Structure 1
C-alpha cells in the first residue's frame, strides 16, 4: 500500500515540469499531455488502491501511510501521512477521474492561449493540494491542502488578469480572485481556531485519535464540542460557498470555464462536505451545530435557487446552481444523512462538471459569448454538446432514472424523516427552482429562434478533445445514481454499504427513526418528480418563443424581479456594512493616524532627535587642542571622584 503515496506526487511533478519548463517545451500538445498524464497516473493508482481496499474486510479498510515526521517539538508532533479509507478513496477517485477529463478538455479549450503552460501548471497544483486535503490523516496536513486549494483557486480565477469582468464592485478578473481569496480567509480563521482547541483538548490533531476519543471526552451537546464544530462549519461555509460566505463563488466565474468545472463543481467547493464527513463524530455530538448546518444549508439552497432563475450569463446560472446544490448537501449532513450528502457530492460532480464543460463548449463555439439571451437554436450547430447538456439538465433536475433523481430524493427523504415536513417543503421548492432555471438555460441556449448576429458569430461544434469528456460525463450522469439506490427499491445500496464503517460511530450517537415508510417514501418521490417536471414544463412554456413572455412577467412582478436580479443586495449590504467601513477605518485612522502620525512620527521624531543631539555634540569637535585637553582633564577628575567617593564614606 506504500505506493499509494504516489497519488499526490504525480500532480506535484506535473506542476513542476509544466511550471518550470512549459514554455521551453514550445508545444501545447506536449504540455497538455504531461499535465493530463500526471492526473491519469494518480487516477490509475487510486483505482488500484480502491481495489485493494475492497479485497480487505470492512473493519480493515483504513490504512495510514506515513511519509515522514513533519513537526516534532515537545508534546506536539505531526506527520506527513495519508489515510486511505472508504471516504478518502471515494473523493480521490472523483478528484482524479473528473480532473483528468477536465485536463483533456482544457487542451482544446485553451488552445492558442499565450499562457497555456501556466494554466496547466496551476491545474496540477490545484489537484495536488486537493489530494492532500482529502488524503491527510490529520487536521494540519488537511489545513495545508485547504490553504493550498485557496491559493490555487486564486491563481486560476485570476488567470486572465488583464480581462474585465462584470461583478459587484469588481472591474477586473483579478478583483474576483482577490474576493474569493479574502472571503475564504474568514472561514479559514475558524478552522484554525478549532484546530487549536482540539489540540488543547486531545493533545493531537490525528483524525482517528480524535474521533475515537471524542465520545468519551464529550457528552452530547457539550459546549466545547459545539464551539469547535461551529468554527469548523464557519470554514465550510467559506470553501463551500454557503451563507454568509458564499458571495465569492458567482464572481469566481471570471476564470476560464475548465476552472469552474474543476473547482466549482467537483472539488474545492465540496471541501466543506468532506471536512464534516471526516469529523462526523464531533458533529453528531453537537445537536446545535447540526441544526445550524441544516438551516444554513436549506436557506442557501432556496436563496441561490431563486437567484439562478433570473441570471443571463450561462456560467452564472450554473454558479448559483452549484451554491444551491451545495446547500442540499449540507441539509443532508445536518439531518444526519452523511451518506446521502456524500452521494450527492458524487452525482453532482458528474452532472455539474458536464454542465460547466458544456457551457464552455457553447462559449467556445459562440466566440466567447456568454449571454444566453444572445443565443438560441444552437442544437443543430452543436449536436454533441446539446445532447450531453440535455442529459446533465435532466440529471440535476432530478428526473428518473438519472443520477440526480436518486441523490436528490434521498436528501429530501431524510429531510422529512429526520427533519420535518417544512424542511422537505422548502427543499422541494428549491428543487422546483433547479428544474426551472436549468430548463430555461437549455431552452434559451439550444432551442427556439436564433438570436445571435450571423454576420459575426458562426456557431460550431467543439473538437473531440472537448466533446469526448462531455460524452463520458454524460454517461456517468446517467448511470451514477445506481450506486446509491434507496432501500425502498429493495436493491443493495452499494455506496451506503461502502461508507457504513466511516459513519457508524456518528450514527450510533444520533437519534434513529425506525419503521416501515415504503408508501410515504414512494409518495414523496412521486411528488418531487411532479414538482421537477412542473418546473421543466413551466420554463418551456415561458421561454419556447424567446424572452417576451418572461419580460412581461418580470414587469408585472417588478419588485420581486428586482430583488432576485440584484441577488437580494447581499453584496451591496456587505460592501456598505463591512467592506466600506473597514476600508475607511484602514485609510483614515490606521493609515493616516496610526501609521503616518504615530508610527512614522515616532520613527521620524527619533531620527530628528538624534540629529539634533548630533548637532549639539558636533560643536564640541572644534579642532582646538586646548579644548580637547580641558575635556580630558575634566574626564580624569570625574573618574577620580568616582573612585574616591566610596572611601570618604
Structure 2
C-alpha cells in the first residue's frame, strides 16, 4: 500500500485512541453534547478510514498487506513489532467493528442523555473499539494479546458503569475474573508457540507449524487446547459462559458493543486466525464444534425461561456464538466468519431496539411489565421484528437464514450429523424464544404504567442506526460476502438430495418454531401457566432460568473451597513472616511521627545533637 493508505489503516485505531485520550484528559469538563460528539466522531472517522481502506484492498486484488509501525521489544531473538496485517479476515472484522460500532456509538448519544458520567462512558467505549481493532489487526500474538487484555479491561469498566449499585460492580468483577481465566490459557498457548516455534508472528507460526510439528502430535494438540481455553473465555462458551448474562448490568449500548461488534467475537476470530494450528489438532478442532453445539442448545433453553429482555438477548448471543464455534469445529471457517458478520447486524439491531424500549418505558425491561407497545413504538417494533426474524433465520428474506444455512449444510457435508441435529434443535429453540420475546414485549395489553405511558424515541441519532441495521439484517446484508478465500481454507460444499433436504428442514424448523410459538403464547397461554405452576414444571423453569445452575455449581466447586482455604490459612507462619516488614514500617513511622512536635526548640536541639554526633563520628573515624 502507499503511504496514504498506510495512514488510513493506522487511522482506524488512532482515531478511537485519540477520542479516548481527549475525553480522559478533559477531566469531566466537557459538556454532555461535546463528549458525545467526540466519542461518536472518533469512531465515525475510523469507519470512514475502514471504508476507504476496504475499497483499496479490493482494488488491489484482496492481497494481504503488512505494515510495521515500530519495533516494540528487542531481547535477543525476541523482537516483536507493532505491526498491522490486513487480509480478508482482518478486513471483515475491521468493517464489523468500526461500521457496527459507529451506529452503536451514534445510538448511545441518544440513549445516554442525562446520564451521569457520560464523558467517562464514551472514553471507555472509544478505548474498547481501539483495543478490539488492535486485536484483529495485530500481525503477532503479543500485539493481539495486548488488544485482548484491553478489551477485557474495558468490559470491566463498562459493565460496572453504574457502579453505585453493588450488583453491577459484582457483575463487572465476575466478567473480569472469568475472562481472565481464559486469558491464562491463551498466555500458556503463546508460551508454547514461542518456545516450540521460535516466534510470535502469526504468519511465521502458521508457516513453521506444518514443518516442525506432525499432524495430531502432542504439541499441536496441547497448543490448540490452550488457545481454545482463551477463546471460550472471551466468547462466553462452555464452561466459561456464566459471565455473559450478568454483563447486562451495563448500559444497553455497551451490551450491543460487547455482543455484536467486539468482545464475544474475539474467540471466534482467534480460532479462525490460528486455523493452521487447529487443523493440525483434529481432536481439539472437533472439541471446538462440540463445545459450540452444547453451548447453543443449553443457551437456547435458558433463553426460554428469561423475563428480562436483555437477558433473553444475552443467551441468544451465547447460542449464536455457539453456531460459530460449531462451524469452526467442522472446518467451515468461512461460514463461521460470515455468520459472525451477519450476527453483528441483527444482534446490534436487537440490542439497540431493546435500549429504545427501555428508555421509552422509563427503564422498564421486564417482559411481565410490558406489552402493547407495537403501536406506540413503531420503529422499535420494526427493529425487533426484522432483527428477530434474522435471529430465527426465517428463509429467504433475512440475512440470518443464509449464514446459518451455510453452517448446517457444512455440518452435513462434512459428516457431522450429530452437530447438525444440535444446530437444528438450536434453530427451533431460537424461533420459539424470539417470538416469545416479541409477543411479550409488544403485544397484548400493557401490564404496567410504564408500558401505558411509553413514548416513542425521536431524532436522527435514535432512528438512523435502527433503520440502517434493519436494512442490513434483511437479505440485503447477506449479499456482503467477506473476502476470505485467500485467508481461510474453504468449507466443503456439496450438492444433491441430502443438502436440499437439510435446507428444507432448516426452513421448516424456523417457520414451524415461529408458528408454534404464536400458537403457544397467544392461543394457549393457560397451558403455559399451568405447566409453570406445576411443581415439576416450576423446577424445570427455575433450572433453565438460572442457566442450568452453572453459577451454583462453580460456587460449590471453586468459590467456597477457596474461601475456606483462605480462612484456614489466615494465620499461617508464612503470612506472619510476610507481616514483619509492614510491622517494622509502621513502627518506624510511629517513631518518626512522634518527633514532629511543631516546637522550634525541639527541632533546634535535634539539629545540634545530630551535628554533634556527626562530628564525633568523623573525629573517631
Scaled by the length of structure 2, the TM-score of the pair is: 0.90
* 1-structure distance, mates of 2:446, 2:523: 10
SS at match of 1:499: coil
SS at match of 1:67: strand
Task: Pick from 413, 416, 425 the counterpart of residue 412 of structure 2.
Answer: 416
Q: CA deviation at 1:443?
A: 0.4
SS at match of 1:82: strand
SS at match of 2:84: strand
Instruction: Give the conservation status (yes or no) of the 8 Å contact 2:135–2:148.
Output: yes
Task: Pick from 17, 32, 38 the counterpart of residue 34 of structure 1.
Answer: 38
Equivalent position of 1:99 in the other structure: 101
Q: CA deviation at 1:602?
A: 8.6
Equivalent position of 2:131 in the other structure: 129
Q: CA deviation at 1:50?
A: 1.1
Tell me the matched-pair count. 578
Q: CA deviation at 1:345?
A: 0.3
Instruction: Give the conservation status (yes or no) of the 8 Å contact 2:349–2:384.
Output: yes
Instruction: Give the conservation status (yes or no) of the 8 Å contact 1:314–1:371.
Output: yes
* 1-structure distance, mates of 2:156, 2:20: 16
Are 1:503 and 2:481 an aligned pair? no
Are 1:9 and 2:14 an aligned pair? yes
Structure 1 unaligned spans of 5+: 164-170, 485-493, 609-649
Equivalent position of 1:354 in the other structure: 349
CA distance 1:108–1:190, shift in 2 (3 Å): same
Equivalent position of 2:530 in the other structure: 552
Equivalent position of 1:531 in the other structure: 509
* 2-structure distance, mates of 1:157, 1:546: 38
CA distance 1:112–1:223, shift in 2 (3 Å): same
Q: CA deviation at 1:546?
A: 9.0
- Output aligned runs, 1:536-615, within 5 Å: 536-544=514-522, 548-556=526-534, 557-589=537-569, 591-594=570-573, 596-600=575-579
Equivalent position of 2:285 in the other structure: 290
- Output aligned runs, 1:98-177, within 5 Å: 98-163=100-165, 171-177=166-172
Deviation string 1:512-534 (CA, Å, 9 cap, x unpaired) is 867x5233222211111111112
Equivalent position of 1:241 in the other structure: 236
Instruction: Give the conservation status (yes or no) of the 8 Å contact 1:407–1:481.
Output: no
SS at match of 1:312: coil
Deviation string 1:594-613 (CA, Å, 9 cap, x unpaired) is 564443369869999xxxxx
SS at match of 1:71: coil
SS at match of 1:437: helix
Instruction: Give the conservation status (yes or no) of the 8 Å contact 1:397–1:438.
Output: yes
Instruction: Give the conservation status (yes or no) of the 8 Å contact 2:66–2:86.
Output: yes
CA distance 1:138–1:542, shift in 2 (3 Å): same
Equivalent position of 2:255 in the other structure: 260
Equivalent position of 2:81 in the other structure: 79
Instruction: Give the conservation status (yes or no) of the 8 Å contact 1:406–1:481.
Output: no
Deviation string 1:78-137 (CA, Å, 9 cap, x unpaired) is 111111111111101100011110111001100001211110001001000010000000
The range that moved more, 421-430 or 571-580, is 421-430
* 1-structure distance, mates of 2:446, 2:195: 63
* 1-structure distance, mates of 2:176, 2:237: 15
* 1-structure distance, mates of 2:476, 2:562: 47
Q: Which runs of 4+ in 1 moved over 6 A?
A: 605-608
Instruction: Give the conservation status (yes or no) of the 8 Å contact 2:446–2:452.
Output: no
Larger Rg: 1
Instruction: Give the conservation status (yes or no) of the 8 Å contact 1:237–1:245.
Output: yes
Are 1:215 and 2:210 an aligned pair? yes
Are 1:43 and 2:63 an aligned pair? no
Are 1:56 and 2:22 an aligned pair? no
Equivalent position of 1:67 in the other structure: 69
Structure 2 unaligned spans of 5+: 588-621
Task: Pick from 399, 402, 405 the counterpart of residue 406 of structure 1.
Answer: 402
* 2-structure distance, mates of 1:435, 1:595: 57
Instruction: Give the conservation status (yes or no) of the 8 Å contact 2:353–2:466.
Output: yes
CA distance 1:365–1:211, shift in 2 (3 Å): same
Q: CA deviation at 1:55?
A: 1.2
The range that moved more, 474-483 or 84-93, is 474-483
Equivalent position of 1:640 in the other structure: none
* 2-structure distance, mates of 1:418, 1:592: 58
SS at match of 1:367: coil
CA distance 1:117–1:79, shift in 2 (3 Å): same
Scaled by the length of structure 1, the TM-score of the pair is: 0.86
CA distance 1:230–1:480, shift in 2 (3 Å): farther
CA distance 1:68–1:606, shift in 2 (3 Å): closer
